[in-house]
Amino acid sequence: MLEKLSSRVQNLKPSPTLAISAKAKQLRAQGIDVIGFGAGEPDFDTPLFIKEAAIKALMEGQTKYAPAAGIPPLREALAEKFSKENGIDYKPSEIVVSAGAKNLLFLIFLMLLNEGDEVLVPTPYWVSYTEQIKLFGGKPVEVPTEEEKGFSLSLEDIKPFVTDRTKVLILNSPNNPTGAVIEEKELKRIAEFCLDKGIFIISDECYEAFTYDGFKHISTASLDEEIKKITFTVNAFSKTYSMTGWRVGYVGCPNEEFAKVLTNLNSQSISNVTTFAQYGALEALKNPEARKFVEKMRTTFERRRDLILSKLMEIPDVKVNTPKGAFYVFPNFRNWVAKFNDDIEFAAYLLDEAKVAVVPGSAFGYEGFLRISYCNSDDEIIEGMERIKKAIERLS
């Protein structure tokens, strides 16, 4: 049966992060007290005023097909958002709304990649980049970043991997899974290099709202007009407004032509993002209460980051960087992983022994580490890290 599948999907892997969250949920449903640190989503509910705006739209009959690129007021509000918050001037016609950042990335790879085109993927990387690239015949080229430098990407990391087939560089600052950010000066060096070499940049800025220690997120396309012309700025409502299940993402394109192709791809695949969900997203941009909500989440995450770091430091032979963004820590457990075949087995041990769900680093192309999301209450963080510590003590 499987041999009847297209060669493109033969080796397609499911998202390991979604799989681990599903496993943790399943165990909990069986009455097992599992603490889940696997999820890549805020533990806050979507604000009521956003839900109410969507309900209102639904009740007023916004239940039909909508324009494939997104409803006009949302694209206009996004142009305003890009200008005010990111310092990028996109026309509404350069912006396309689709079913989450994930689907936009999928469509951008479909639009750009020919067989054998290479995409530079700074590693550790978010799990879907490599699978999506391969689906469209592209070749993901892993660009390792250094733990000693806090996993922050530099131009020197990239240069050895550039060939005449390099078509795209992915930037993801703040990064999933490391929480690393790229400082403005380095970002500029990288972007100017890409401009010079004719390499497109996909700047995945899904975690822009969550930065710490006073670090201010810088959008790649804001650096200058020429850089903007090679950059796709991908973002979503998912993390910023805790709207992961709504499936609303957006992209600012280098020009209208690219936006038109993405719109056509939308129109031939999803048609449009659920119409009333787009009205909810519009409210998130328009309602001043939304800013306060995001800031409340940001300060909560910053506090939890400090808490989880302090607890991780109590675990022997574990090294961890202080992430400047997102809501993950990516500690080095190599000393302990060495007692197992690999980090997948180690994560399975923690699930069985400690009843704690975490994602092994190999899922992100970086063996021997764990991604631990801190979208959990303080009590869960304290209890979860204590459980990991005890399970580890049993190994020595």
Residue ranges binding ligand PLP (CB under 6 A): 40, 100-102, 126, 172, 176, 204, 206, 236, 238, 244, 249
The DSSP symbol for 46 reads: P
User: Between 173 and 300, whose beta carbon lies closer to ligand PLP?
Assistant: 173
C-alpha–C-alpha distance, residues 223 and 152, integer Å: 18
In angstroms, give the least distance from the CB of 246 to ligand PLP: 9
In angstroms, give the least distance from the CB of 209 to ligand PLP: 13
In angstroms, give the least distance from the CB of 247 to ligand PLP: 7
CA distances from 205 to 60, 82, 201, 202, 315 (A): 33, 12, 12, 9, 32
What angle in degrees, to the nearest 10, is found between the helix axes of 100-112 and 127-135?
40
In angstroms, give the least distance from the CB of 370 to ligand PLP: 16
The DSSP symbol for 94 reads: G
User: Between 373 and 391, whose beta carbon lies closer to ligand PLP?
Assistant: 373
Point out the residue whose Cβ comes nearest to ligand PLP: 100
Whether residue 250 contacts residue 107, with contact meaning beta carbons closer than 8 Å, is answered with no
Where helices occur in 15-68 by DSSP H, the ranges are 16-29, 48-59
CA distances from 222 to 86, 190, 195, 233, 384 (A): 7, 14, 14, 10, 40
In angstroms, give the least distance from the CB of 3 to ligand PLP: 31
User: Between 204 and 283, whose beta carbon lies closer to ligand PLP?
Assistant: 204
User: Between 93 and 128, whose beta carbon lies closer to ligand PLP?
Assistant: 128
- How many other C-beta atoms can be found within 10 angstroms of the C-beta atom of residue 214? 6
In angstroms, give the least distance from the CB of 68 to ligand PLP: 18
User: Between 176 and 275, whose beta carbon lies closer to ligand PLP?
Assistant: 176
In angstroms, give the least distance from the CB of 22 to ligand PLP: 14
User: Between 133 and 392, whose beta carbon lies closer to ligand PLP?
Assistant: 133
User: Between 147 and 204, whose beta carbon lies closer to ligand PLP?
Assistant: 204
3-state per-residue secondary structure call for 104-161: HHHHHHHHHCCCCCEEEEEECCCHHHHHHHHHCCCEEEEEECCHHHCCCCCHHHHHHH
In angstroms, give the least distance from the CB of 248 to ligand PLP: 8
In sequence order, what are the beta bridge partners of 140? 119
User: Between 38 and 100, whose beta carbon lies closer to ligand PLP?
Assistant: 100
Q: Which of 65, 67, 64, 70 is nearest to 92 (CA)?
A: 70
User: Between 19 and 195, whose beta carbon lies closer to ligand PLP?
Assistant: 19
Instruction: Annotate 106-119 with b (16+ C-beta within 10 A) or e (fewer).
Output: bbbbbebbeeebbb
In angstroms, give the least distance from the CB of 183 to ligand PLP: 19
Helix, strand and coil content of the chain, in percent to the nearest 5, comes to 50, 15, 40
User: Between 35 and 206, whose beta carbon lies closer to ligand PLP?
Assistant: 206
In angstroms, give the least distance from the CB of 239 to ligand PLP: 7
Structure tokens at 42: 């805020």
Residues near 27 by Cβ (< 8 Å), separated by ≥ 6?
A: 34, 351, 355
Q: Which of 203, 207, 206, 230 is nearest to 219 (CA)?
A: 203
Q: Which of 208, 143, 147 is nearest to 173 (CA)?
A: 208
| Strands 35-36, 356-357: pairing kind | parallel
